[in-house]
Amino acid sequence: MVLKKSLMIVMLTLPNAIIYAQSSEQSHLNAETPFTNLSLEHAIKVMKNNNLELKISKFDEQMKAQEAKVAKGHNYGKLDLKVQALRSNDAGNIFGFKLKSREASFADFGFVDFMGAIGQGAQQANGDFGAFSQGLAQQGDSILAIQPRDLNYPEARNHFQTTLTYMVPLYTGGKLDQYEKITKALQTMSQLDTSKILNEKIFQTTKTFYDISLVEQYLINLRSIVDNITQLENIVNAMKEEGFAKEIDGLEVQARKAEAQSMLNQAGYNKELAYQYLSFLLNHKVTSIQSINDLAPMPKVVQDEIHNNNLDIQKAKLGLKITDMAIKVEESNFLPTLGAFGEYGSTDNKIFNEFIDKDFYTVGLQLEWNLFNGNIDKYNFEKAKVENMKVRDQVELAKKGISLKVEKLLTESKSKDALIVSLETQLNFAAKVYENYQERYKEGLSSISEVLIKQSKELEVLLKLLTAKNDRNTKVFEITSIINKGEI
Protein backbone atom coordinates (compact mmCIF):
# COMPACT_ATOMS: atom_id res chain seq x y z
CA MET A 1 0.00 0.00 0.00
CA VAL A 2 2.81 2.39 0.90
CA LEU A 3 4.62 1.56 -2.34
CA LYS A 4 1.50 2.34 -4.41
CA LYS A 5 1.19 5.73 -2.70
CA SER A 6 4.85 6.34 -3.41
CA LEU A 7 4.34 5.65 -7.10
CA MET A 8 1.39 8.05 -7.05
CA ILE A 9 3.45 10.95 -5.70
CA VAL A 10 6.24 10.12 -8.14
CA MET A 11 3.89 10.43 -11.11
CA LEU A 12 2.25 13.57 -9.73
CA THR A 13 5.56 15.38 -9.67
CA LEU A 14 6.09 14.90 -13.41
CA PRO A 15 4.44 16.72 -16.34
CA ASN A 16 2.17 14.68 -18.60
CA ALA A 17 4.56 15.06 -21.51
CA ILE A 18 7.39 13.16 -19.84
CA ILE A 19 6.90 10.07 -22.01
CA TYR A 20 7.25 12.20 -25.11
CA ALA A 21 10.36 13.78 -23.65
CA GLN A 22 11.96 10.33 -23.28
CA SER A 23 11.38 9.40 -26.91
CA SER A 24 12.30 12.82 -28.29
CA GLU A 25 15.31 13.74 -26.16
CA GLN A 26 18.01 12.39 -28.44
CA SER A 27 16.51 13.97 -31.57
CA HIS A 28 16.16 17.44 -30.05
CA LEU A 29 19.11 17.99 -27.78
CA ASN A 30 22.21 19.48 -29.28
CA ALA A 31 25.78 18.54 -28.63
CA GLU A 32 26.70 21.63 -26.60
CA THR A 33 28.04 21.45 -23.08
CA PRO A 34 25.26 20.47 -20.62
CA PHE A 35 23.98 23.06 -18.14
CA THR A 36 24.98 22.52 -14.52
CA ASN A 37 23.71 24.36 -11.46
CA LEU A 38 21.17 26.06 -13.73
CA SER A 39 19.03 28.84 -12.23
CA LEU A 40 15.34 29.24 -13.03
CA GLU A 41 15.87 32.70 -14.52
CA HIS A 42 18.58 31.44 -16.87
CA ALA A 43 16.48 28.40 -17.79
CA ILE A 44 13.56 30.61 -18.85
CA LYS A 45 15.87 32.75 -21.01
CA VAL A 46 17.28 29.65 -22.70
CA MET A 47 13.79 28.25 -23.21
CA LYS A 48 12.62 31.46 -24.91
CA ASN A 49 15.46 31.20 -27.43
CA ASN A 50 15.65 27.43 -27.92
CA ASN A 51 12.23 25.87 -27.43
CA LEU A 52 11.23 24.23 -30.70
CA GLU A 53 7.49 24.74 -30.27
CA LEU A 54 8.07 28.46 -29.77
CA LYS A 55 10.24 28.60 -32.89
CA ILE A 56 7.51 26.92 -34.94
CA SER A 57 4.92 29.37 -33.63
CA LYS A 58 7.15 32.31 -34.56
CA PHE A 59 7.36 30.93 -38.11
CA ASP A 60 3.55 30.97 -38.15
CA GLU A 61 3.71 34.62 -37.08
CA GLN A 62 5.99 35.42 -40.00
CA MET A 63 3.63 33.71 -42.44
CA LYS A 64 0.67 35.70 -41.11
CA ALA A 65 2.71 38.89 -41.49
CA GLN A 66 3.33 38.03 -45.15
CA GLU A 67 -0.38 37.31 -45.64
CA ALA A 68 -1.16 40.79 -44.30
CA LYS A 69 1.25 42.29 -46.84
CA VAL A 70 -0.42 40.24 -49.60
CA ALA A 71 -3.83 41.65 -48.65
CA LYS A 72 -2.45 45.19 -48.69
CA GLY A 73 -0.80 44.58 -52.07
CA HIS A 74 -4.18 44.06 -53.75
CA ASN A 75 -4.88 47.79 -53.34
CA TYR A 76 -2.05 48.66 -55.73
CA GLY A 77 -3.36 46.69 -58.66
CA LYS A 78 -1.47 44.46 -61.06
CA LEU A 79 1.12 45.31 -63.74
CA ASP A 80 1.94 42.59 -66.28
CA LEU A 81 4.46 42.47 -69.09
CA LYS A 82 3.70 39.98 -71.84
CA VAL A 83 5.89 39.22 -74.86
CA GLN A 84 4.44 36.98 -77.59
CA ALA A 85 6.40 35.38 -80.43
CA LEU A 86 4.23 33.78 -83.12
CA ARG A 87 4.56 32.50 -86.70
CA SER A 88 1.60 31.58 -88.90
CA ASN A 89 0.41 31.18 -92.49
CA ASP A 90 -3.26 31.39 -91.56
CA ALA A 91 -4.88 34.03 -93.78
CA GLY A 92 -6.87 35.56 -90.94
CA ASN A 93 -3.84 35.68 -88.63
CA ILE A 94 -1.58 37.17 -91.33
CA PHE A 95 -4.02 39.97 -92.08
CA GLY A 96 -4.44 40.61 -88.35
CA PHE A 97 -0.69 40.59 -87.78
CA LYS A 98 -0.13 43.21 -90.51
CA LEU A 99 -3.00 45.34 -89.26
CA LYS A 100 -1.65 45.32 -85.66
CA SER A 101 1.79 46.17 -87.05
CA ARG A 102 0.22 49.08 -88.99
CA GLU A 103 1.54 47.59 -92.27
CA ALA A 104 -1.74 46.55 -93.97
CA SER A 105 -2.03 47.70 -97.64
CA PHE A 106 -4.65 47.44 -100.38
CA ALA A 107 -2.57 44.67 -101.91
CA ASP A 108 -3.26 42.60 -98.79
CA PHE A 109 -6.96 42.81 -99.66
CA GLY A 110 -6.31 41.29 -103.13
CA PHE A 111 -6.52 44.60 -105.00
CA VAL A 112 -3.86 43.38 -107.47
CA ASP A 113 -6.32 40.90 -108.99
CA PHE A 114 -9.14 43.45 -108.83
CA MET A 115 -7.13 46.17 -110.55
CA GLY A 116 -6.01 43.69 -113.20
CA ALA A 117 -9.60 42.94 -114.11
CA ILE A 118 -10.45 46.68 -114.23
CA GLY A 119 -7.41 47.39 -116.40
CA GLN A 120 -8.35 44.64 -118.83
CA GLY A 121 -11.85 46.13 -119.18
CA ALA A 122 -10.46 49.61 -119.83
CA GLN A 123 -8.14 48.23 -122.52
CA GLN A 124 -11.01 46.51 -124.29
CA ALA A 125 -13.12 49.74 -124.26
CA ASN A 126 -10.28 51.49 -126.09
CA GLY A 127 -10.98 54.82 -124.40
CA ASP A 128 -14.77 54.66 -124.82
CA PHE A 129 -16.07 55.40 -121.27
CA GLY A 130 -19.60 54.34 -122.18
CA ALA A 131 -18.39 51.00 -123.48
CA PHE A 132 -16.21 50.67 -120.34
CA SER A 133 -19.17 51.31 -118.05
CA GLN A 134 -21.37 48.87 -120.01
CA GLY A 135 -18.66 46.19 -119.86
CA LEU A 136 -18.12 46.78 -116.14
CA ALA A 137 -21.85 46.33 -115.49
CA GLN A 138 -21.93 43.12 -117.55
CA GLN A 139 -18.74 41.66 -115.96
CA GLY A 140 -19.32 42.98 -112.39
CA ASP A 141 -20.36 39.66 -110.89
CA SER A 142 -17.39 37.83 -112.35
CA ILE A 143 -15.03 40.52 -111.08
CA LEU A 144 -16.48 40.36 -107.57
CA ALA A 145 -16.20 36.57 -107.64
CA ILE A 146 -12.41 36.76 -108.04
CA GLN A 147 -10.62 35.07 -105.09
CA PRO A 148 -7.47 37.15 -104.56
CA ARG A 149 -4.42 34.95 -103.92
CA ASP A 150 -2.56 37.56 -101.87
CA LEU A 151 -5.45 37.62 -99.39
CA ASN A 152 -6.24 33.92 -99.27
CA TYR A 153 -2.75 32.47 -99.58
CA PRO A 154 -0.38 34.93 -97.93
CA GLU A 155 3.21 34.05 -97.11
CA ALA A 156 3.94 32.92 -93.53
CA ARG A 157 4.80 35.82 -91.20
CA ASN A 158 6.45 36.29 -87.82
CA HIS A 159 4.59 38.24 -85.19
CA PHE A 160 6.17 39.76 -82.05
CA GLN A 161 3.92 41.64 -79.63
CA THR A 162 5.06 43.32 -76.40
CA THR A 163 2.24 44.43 -74.07
CA LEU A 164 2.33 46.18 -70.69
CA THR A 165 -1.00 45.88 -68.86
CA TYR A 166 -2.03 47.57 -65.60
CA MET A 167 -5.29 46.86 -63.75
CA VAL A 168 -6.16 48.56 -60.47
CA PRO A 169 -9.27 48.53 -58.28
CA LEU A 170 -10.57 52.06 -57.68
CA TYR A 171 -13.52 51.24 -55.44
CA THR A 172 -14.61 47.90 -53.94
CA GLY A 173 -17.19 49.04 -51.41
CA GLY A 174 -14.58 48.79 -48.66
CA LYS A 175 -14.01 45.05 -49.16
CA LEU A 176 -10.25 45.28 -49.76
CA ASP A 177 -9.80 47.58 -46.77
CA GLN A 178 -11.61 45.12 -44.51
CA TYR A 179 -9.63 42.16 -45.86
CA GLU A 180 -6.44 44.05 -45.05
CA LYS A 181 -7.66 44.74 -41.51
CA ILE A 182 -8.72 41.11 -41.05
CA THR A 183 -5.31 39.77 -42.10
CA LYS A 184 -3.59 42.21 -39.74
CA ALA A 185 -5.91 41.03 -36.95
CA LEU A 186 -5.06 37.42 -37.78
CA GLN A 187 -1.38 38.36 -37.57
CA THR A 188 -2.03 39.76 -34.09
CA MET A 189 -3.96 36.58 -33.26
CA SER A 190 -0.89 34.57 -34.28
CA GLN A 191 1.24 36.69 -31.95
CA LEU A 192 -1.21 35.99 -29.12
CA ASP A 193 -0.92 32.27 -29.91
CA THR A 194 2.85 32.55 -29.58
CA SER A 195 2.45 34.40 -26.29
CA LYS A 196 0.14 31.66 -25.06
CA ILE A 197 2.68 28.98 -25.97
CA LEU A 198 5.41 31.02 -24.24
CA ASN A 199 3.18 31.33 -21.18
CA GLU A 200 2.66 27.57 -21.17
CA LYS A 201 6.37 26.85 -21.56
CA ILE A 202 7.23 29.22 -18.71
CA PHE A 203 4.62 27.36 -16.65
CA GLN A 204 6.11 23.96 -17.55
CA THR A 205 9.72 25.07 -17.02
CA THR A 206 8.96 26.62 -13.63
CA LYS A 207 6.86 23.67 -12.51
CA THR A 208 9.61 21.26 -13.52
CA PHE A 209 12.10 23.23 -11.40
CA TYR A 210 9.78 22.98 -8.40
CA ASP A 211 9.10 19.29 -9.15
CA ILE A 212 12.83 18.54 -9.15
CA SER A 213 13.27 20.45 -5.89
CA LEU A 214 10.39 18.49 -4.32
CA VAL A 215 11.84 15.20 -5.53
CA GLU A 216 15.22 16.14 -4.05
CA GLN A 217 13.52 16.85 -0.70
CA TYR A 218 11.67 13.57 -1.03
CA LEU A 219 14.99 11.79 -1.62
CA ILE A 220 16.52 13.44 1.46
CA ASN A 221 13.59 12.31 3.61
CA LEU A 222 13.64 8.81 2.13
CA ARG A 223 17.37 8.48 2.80
CA SER A 224 16.74 9.56 6.39
CA ILE A 225 14.01 6.94 6.71
CA VAL A 226 16.28 4.27 5.22
CA ASP A 227 18.98 5.29 7.71
CA ASN A 228 16.43 4.99 10.54
CA ILE A 229 15.43 1.52 9.35
CA THR A 230 19.11 0.55 9.14
CA GLN A 231 19.52 1.79 12.71
CA LEU A 232 16.48 -0.25 13.73
CA GLU A 233 17.94 -3.27 11.94
CA ASN A 234 21.15 -2.92 13.97
CA ILE A 235 19.11 -2.70 17.18
CA VAL A 236 17.16 -5.86 16.25
CA ASN A 237 20.37 -7.75 15.42
CA ALA A 238 21.92 -6.69 18.71
CA MET A 239 18.83 -7.78 20.63
CA LYS A 240 18.78 -11.11 18.76
CA GLU A 241 22.29 -11.84 19.94
CA GLU A 242 21.13 -11.28 23.51
CA GLY A 243 18.00 -13.35 22.97
CA PHE A 244 15.56 -10.47 23.30
CA ALA A 245 14.42 -10.43 19.63
CA LYS A 246 13.08 -13.10 17.29
CA GLU A 247 14.22 -14.06 13.80
CA ILE A 248 10.90 -12.82 12.38
CA ASP A 249 11.64 -9.34 13.78
CA GLY A 250 14.75 -9.12 11.63
CA LEU A 251 12.89 -10.34 8.56
CA GLU A 252 10.16 -7.72 9.03
CA VAL A 253 12.75 -4.95 9.28
CA GLN A 254 14.57 -6.24 6.19
CA ALA A 255 11.32 -6.33 4.21
CA ARG A 256 10.50 -2.77 5.20
CA LYS A 257 14.04 -1.66 4.35
CA ALA A 258 13.78 -3.27 0.89
CA GLU A 259 10.48 -1.47 0.32
CA ALA A 260 11.96 1.90 1.33
CA GLN A 261 15.04 1.28 -0.82
CA SER A 262 12.80 0.51 -3.81
CA MET A 263 10.96 3.78 -3.26
CA LEU A 264 14.30 5.56 -3.05
CA ASN A 265 15.40 4.07 -6.38
CA GLN A 266 12.06 4.93 -8.01
CA ALA A 267 12.38 8.53 -6.82
CA GLY A 268 15.86 8.67 -8.35
CA TYR A 269 14.51 7.50 -11.73
CA ASN A 270 11.73 10.05 -11.42
CA LYS A 271 14.33 12.78 -10.94
CA GLU A 272 16.17 11.64 -14.07
CA LEU A 273 12.93 11.83 -16.07
CA ALA A 274 12.28 15.33 -14.78
CA TYR A 275 15.72 16.41 -15.98
CA GLN A 276 15.04 14.83 -19.38
CA TYR A 277 11.81 16.80 -19.69
CA LEU A 278 13.54 20.03 -18.63
CA SER A 279 16.21 19.37 -21.27
CA PHE A 280 13.46 18.86 -23.85
CA LEU A 281 11.82 22.17 -22.94
CA LEU A 282 15.13 24.04 -23.20
CA ASN A 283 16.31 22.02 -26.21
CA HIS A 284 19.60 21.74 -24.32
CA LYS A 285 20.96 19.11 -21.94
CA VAL A 286 20.56 19.94 -18.22
CA THR A 287 22.29 17.86 -15.55
CA SER A 288 21.69 19.92 -12.39
CA ILE A 289 19.75 22.97 -11.21
CA GLN A 290 19.79 25.42 -8.35
CA SER A 291 17.20 24.15 -5.87
CA ILE A 292 14.42 26.57 -5.02
CA ASN A 293 11.91 26.97 -2.24
CA ASP A 294 9.45 24.07 -2.25
CA LEU A 295 6.43 26.44 -2.14
CA ALA A 296 5.86 28.90 -4.98
CA PRO A 297 4.85 32.47 -4.00
CA MET A 298 1.19 33.33 -4.54
CA PRO A 299 0.72 36.09 -7.17
CA LYS A 300 -1.41 39.16 -6.54
CA VAL A 301 -4.79 38.77 -8.22
CA VAL A 302 -6.70 41.82 -9.54
CA GLN A 303 -9.83 41.15 -11.59
CA ASP A 304 -9.36 44.13 -13.94
CA GLU A 305 -5.81 43.02 -14.70
CA ILE A 306 -7.05 39.51 -15.47
CA HIS A 307 -9.56 40.87 -18.01
CA ASN A 308 -6.88 43.03 -19.61
CA ASN A 309 -3.97 40.58 -19.55
CA ASN A 310 -5.44 37.10 -19.93
CA LEU A 311 -4.51 35.79 -23.36
CA ASP A 312 -7.72 33.83 -23.93
CA ILE A 313 -9.78 36.95 -23.22
CA GLN A 314 -7.55 39.01 -25.51
CA LYS A 315 -8.05 36.44 -28.28
CA ALA A 316 -11.82 36.50 -27.71
CA LYS A 317 -11.87 40.31 -27.94
CA LEU A 318 -9.81 40.21 -31.12
CA GLY A 319 -12.17 37.59 -32.53
CA LEU A 320 -15.05 39.99 -31.85
CA LYS A 321 -13.26 42.73 -33.83
CA ILE A 322 -12.75 40.30 -36.70
CA THR A 323 -16.49 39.54 -36.80
CA ASP A 324 -17.15 43.30 -36.92
CA MET A 325 -14.91 43.45 -39.99
CA ALA A 326 -16.64 40.40 -41.48
CA ILE A 327 -19.98 42.23 -41.27
CA LYS A 328 -18.51 45.11 -43.28
CA VAL A 329 -17.14 42.64 -45.85
CA GLU A 330 -20.61 41.16 -46.36
CA GLU A 331 -22.10 44.67 -46.46
CA SER A 332 -19.73 45.61 -49.30
CA ASN A 333 -21.45 43.02 -51.53
CA PHE A 334 -24.38 45.41 -51.84
CA LEU A 335 -22.15 48.13 -53.32
CA PRO A 336 -20.64 48.46 -56.83
CA THR A 337 -17.01 47.87 -57.71
CA LEU A 338 -15.03 50.11 -60.03
CA GLY A 339 -11.76 49.24 -61.70
CA ALA A 340 -9.38 50.90 -64.18
CA PHE A 341 -7.50 49.29 -67.02
CA GLY A 342 -4.54 50.48 -69.07
CA GLU A 343 -2.57 48.71 -71.78
CA TYR A 344 0.42 49.81 -73.83
CA GLY A 345 2.44 47.85 -76.35
CA SER A 346 3.91 47.50 -79.82
CA THR A 347 3.77 44.86 -82.58
CA ASP A 348 5.96 43.99 -85.57
CA ASN A 349 7.41 41.04 -87.48
CA LYS A 350 10.70 41.72 -85.72
CA ILE A 351 10.97 41.98 -81.94
CA PHE A 352 11.17 45.57 -80.62
CA ASN A 353 11.41 46.84 -84.23
CA GLU A 354 10.17 50.46 -84.72
CA PHE A 355 8.61 50.17 -81.26
CA ILE A 356 7.40 53.79 -80.94
CA ASP A 357 6.15 54.06 -84.54
CA LYS A 358 4.01 50.96 -84.17
CA ASP A 359 2.92 51.32 -80.56
CA PHE A 360 -0.67 51.25 -79.29
CA TYR A 361 -2.59 51.89 -76.08
CA THR A 362 -5.97 51.10 -74.57
CA VAL A 363 -7.50 52.60 -71.41
CA GLY A 364 -10.84 52.00 -69.79
CA LEU A 365 -13.03 51.74 -66.72
CA GLN A 366 -15.31 48.95 -65.59
CA LEU A 367 -18.24 49.26 -63.21
CA GLU A 368 -19.76 46.08 -61.84
CA TRP A 369 -22.80 45.98 -59.56
CA ASN A 370 -24.69 42.87 -58.63
CA LEU A 371 -28.39 43.76 -58.50
CA PHE A 372 -29.86 40.36 -57.62
CA ASN A 373 -28.49 36.90 -56.75
CA GLY A 374 -31.38 35.24 -54.97
CA ASN A 375 -30.83 37.24 -51.75
CA ILE A 376 -27.61 35.28 -51.06
CA ASP A 377 -25.76 38.47 -50.07
CA LYS A 378 -28.59 39.39 -47.70
CA TYR A 379 -28.52 36.00 -45.99
CA ASN A 380 -24.72 36.07 -45.65
CA PHE A 381 -24.97 39.56 -44.15
CA GLU A 382 -27.51 38.36 -41.57
CA LYS A 383 -25.35 35.32 -40.81
CA ALA A 384 -22.34 37.59 -40.15
CA LYS A 385 -24.40 39.70 -37.74
CA VAL A 386 -25.55 36.60 -35.83
CA GLU A 387 -21.94 35.39 -35.64
CA ASN A 388 -20.94 38.76 -34.22
CA MET A 389 -23.61 38.54 -31.52
CA LYS A 390 -22.49 35.00 -30.65
CA VAL A 391 -18.83 36.04 -30.30
CA ARG A 392 -19.86 39.04 -28.19
CA ASP A 393 -21.49 36.68 -25.71
CA GLN A 394 -18.45 34.39 -25.91
CA VAL A 395 -16.25 37.28 -24.79
CA GLU A 396 -18.44 37.84 -21.74
CA LEU A 397 -18.48 34.11 -21.05
CA ALA A 398 -14.67 34.02 -21.27
CA LYS A 399 -14.35 36.88 -18.78
CA LYS A 400 -16.70 35.30 -16.25
CA GLY A 401 -15.30 31.81 -16.80
CA ILE A 402 -11.71 32.94 -16.28
CA SER A 403 -12.66 34.90 -13.17
CA LEU A 404 -14.48 31.88 -11.77
CA LYS A 405 -11.53 29.61 -12.50
CA VAL A 406 -9.12 31.98 -10.74
CA GLU A 407 -11.37 32.18 -7.69
CA LYS A 408 -11.64 28.38 -7.62
CA LEU A 409 -7.86 27.98 -7.86
CA LEU A 410 -7.32 30.57 -5.13
CA THR A 411 -9.72 28.76 -2.82
CA GLU A 412 -8.09 25.40 -3.54
CA SER A 413 -4.62 26.88 -3.00
CA LYS A 414 -5.62 28.27 0.39
CA SER A 415 -7.05 24.87 1.27
CA LYS A 416 -3.75 23.24 0.30
CA ASP A 417 -1.84 25.80 2.41
CA ALA A 418 -3.88 24.81 5.45
CA LEU A 419 -3.39 21.11 4.67
CA ILE A 420 0.37 21.59 4.31
CA VAL A 421 0.58 23.23 7.75
CA SER A 422 -1.41 20.35 9.23
CA LEU A 423 0.68 17.67 7.49
CA GLU A 424 3.96 19.28 8.57
CA THR A 425 2.72 19.13 12.17
CA GLN A 426 1.60 15.52 11.65
CA LEU A 427 4.98 14.60 10.12
CA ASN A 428 6.86 16.03 13.05
CA PHE A 429 4.54 14.15 15.43
CA ALA A 430 4.86 10.88 13.45
CA ALA A 431 8.67 11.12 13.62
CA LYS A 432 8.57 11.61 17.38
CA VAL A 433 6.13 8.70 17.80
CA TYR A 434 8.41 6.45 15.74
CA GLU A 435 11.39 7.39 17.90
CA ASN A 436 9.33 6.70 21.02
CA TYR A 437 8.23 3.26 19.82
CA GLN A 438 11.80 2.43 18.83
CA GLU A 439 12.85 3.10 22.44
CA ARG A 440 9.86 1.09 23.70
CA TYR A 441 11.01 -1.82 21.51
CA LYS A 442 14.44 -1.69 23.12
CA GLU A 443 12.76 -1.99 26.50
CA GLY A 444 10.49 -4.80 25.30
CA LEU A 445 7.33 -2.73 25.65
CA SER A 446 6.42 -2.83 21.95
CA SER A 447 6.68 -5.37 19.17
CA ILE A 448 8.67 -4.79 15.98
CA SER A 449 5.39 -4.70 14.04
CA GLU A 450 4.19 -1.77 16.14
CA VAL A 451 7.44 0.06 15.49
CA LEU A 452 7.20 -0.51 11.75
CA ILE A 453 3.56 0.59 11.70
CA LYS A 454 4.59 3.90 13.26
CA GLN A 455 7.40 4.19 10.74
CA SER A 456 4.89 3.53 7.93
CA LYS A 457 2.69 6.28 9.32
CA GLU A 458 5.62 8.69 9.10
CA LEU A 459 6.22 7.71 5.47
CA GLU A 460 2.52 8.01 4.66
CA VAL A 461 2.35 11.54 6.08
CA LEU A 462 5.52 12.48 4.18
CA LEU A 463 3.96 11.33 0.90
CA LYS A 464 0.76 13.26 1.62
CA LEU A 465 2.80 16.37 2.43
CA LEU A 466 4.77 16.22 -0.81
CA THR A 467 1.58 15.57 -2.80
CA ALA A 468 -0.10 18.56 -1.18
CA LYS A 469 2.89 20.80 -1.94
CA ASN A 470 2.93 19.63 -5.56
CA ASP A 471 -0.83 20.21 -5.94
CA ARG A 472 -0.58 23.63 -4.33
CA ASN A 473 2.32 24.69 -6.59
CA THR A 474 0.47 23.53 -9.70
CA LYS A 475 -2.54 25.65 -8.79
CA VAL A 476 -0.34 28.69 -8.09
CA PHE A 477 1.37 28.28 -11.47
CA GLU A 478 -2.03 27.98 -13.17
CA ILE A 479 -3.15 31.24 -11.55
CA THR A 480 0.05 32.98 -12.66
CA SER A 481 -0.41 31.64 -16.17
CA ILE A 482 -4.05 32.75 -16.33
CA ILE A 483 -3.40 36.32 -15.15
CA ASN A 484 -0.44 36.43 -17.58
CA LYS A 485 2.04 37.90 -15.14
CA GLY A 486 4.92 36.62 -17.22
CA GLU A 487 7.70 34.74 -15.49
CA ILE A 488 6.81 33.00 -12.24
pLDDT tens, residue by residue, 38-94: 999 999 999 999 999 999 999 999 999 999 999 999 999 999 999 999 999 888 888
- 226-231: average pLDDT: 87
Range from 23-37, 40-54, 147-161, 398-412 carrying the lowest mean pLDDT: 23-37
pLDDT tens, residue by residue, 449-486: 888 888 888 888 988 999 999 999 999 999 999 988 65
- How far apart (Å, rounded) are the C-alpha atoms in residues 137 and 114? 15
pLDDT confidence bin for 442, thresholds 50/70/90: confident
Q: At residue 16, does pLDDT exceed 60? A: no
pLDDT confidence bin for 111, thresholds 50/70/90: low
Strand 78-88: give its sheet, edge to edge: 78-88, 157-171, 337-348, 359-368
Across the chain, what does the average pLDDT equal? 84
What percent of the chain has a predicted confidence (pLDDT) above 90? 54
Higher pLDDT, 290 or 97: 290
List of domains in the chain? 2-76+173-482 (1.20.1600.10)
pLDDT tens, residue by residue, 267-290: 999 999 999 999 999 999 999 999
Q: What is the pTM of this model?
A: 0.78
Residues found in the chain: 488
Residue 98 pLDDT = 81
Range from 8-17, 227-236, 297-306 carrying the lowest mean pLDDT: 8-17
Q: What amino acid occupies position 40?
A: L
Residue 456 pLDDT = 85
pLDDT tens, residue by residue, 165-212: 999 999 999 999 999 999 999 999 999 999 999 999 999 999 999 999
